[in-house]
């Protein structure tokens, strides 16, 4: 399946939503990584969350997984305090979990969920715990919040 992604920023929820589908090659993963960094810079290192909907994604080759791991590391260095990870492929889910564990920045902050509804519930709970006083406040740094689509999902 052709790789596609969408990245959107729900600024008032302090949440970046990522949707990835298909078998990513190195070129497309690098495009994703560049766009993710661009969108996330609006937070300028302040706490925020990620909903990573990877249903339909397939496990990545080692070189592609390296880029994904570097992107996860970037996200944590730049303020991600919680990630809800939704996947329908066991191998892909395990690969993402392994990449997240390899990052020594903090203990794992990723929660595997089975539906978008559960992802939203987990993030809502964690927002109250981890982002008191920040929810509803739009981020102020970097580019304006927006959505980037790579092909149509």
Helix (H, G, I), strand (E, B) or coil at 11: helix
Residue 105 is predicted with a pLDDT of: 57
Q: Nearest-CA neighbor of 132 among 7, 14, 10, 20?
A: 14
The region of weakest confidence among 47-51, 88-92, 95-99 is 95-99
Going by pLDDT thresholds of 50, 70 and 90, the confidence category of residue 146 is very low
Report the C-alpha gap between 100 and 89 in whole angstroms.
17
Instruction: pLDDT band for 38, please (50, 70, 90 cuts).
Output: very high
Mean pLDDT, residues 3-11: 94
């Amino acid at each position: 399946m052709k790789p596609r992604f969408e990245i959107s920023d729900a600024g008032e929820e302090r949440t970046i939503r990522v949707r990835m589908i298909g078998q990513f090659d190195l070129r497309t993963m690098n495009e994703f990584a560049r766009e993710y960094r661009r969108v996330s810079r609006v937070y300028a290192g302040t706490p925020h969350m990620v909903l990573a909907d990877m249903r339909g994604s397939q496990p990545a080759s080692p070189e592609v997984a390296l880029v994904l791991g570097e992107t996860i590391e970037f996200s944590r260095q730049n303020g991600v305090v919680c990630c809800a990870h939704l996947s329908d492929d066991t191998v892909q889910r395990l690969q993402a979990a392994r990449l997240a564990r390899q990052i020594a920045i903090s203990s794992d902050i990723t929660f595997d969920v089975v539906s978008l509804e559960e992802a939203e519930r987990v993030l809502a709970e964690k927002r109250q715990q981890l982002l008191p006083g920040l929810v509803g406040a739009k981020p102020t740094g970097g580019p304006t919040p927006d959505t980037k689509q790579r092909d149509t999902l």
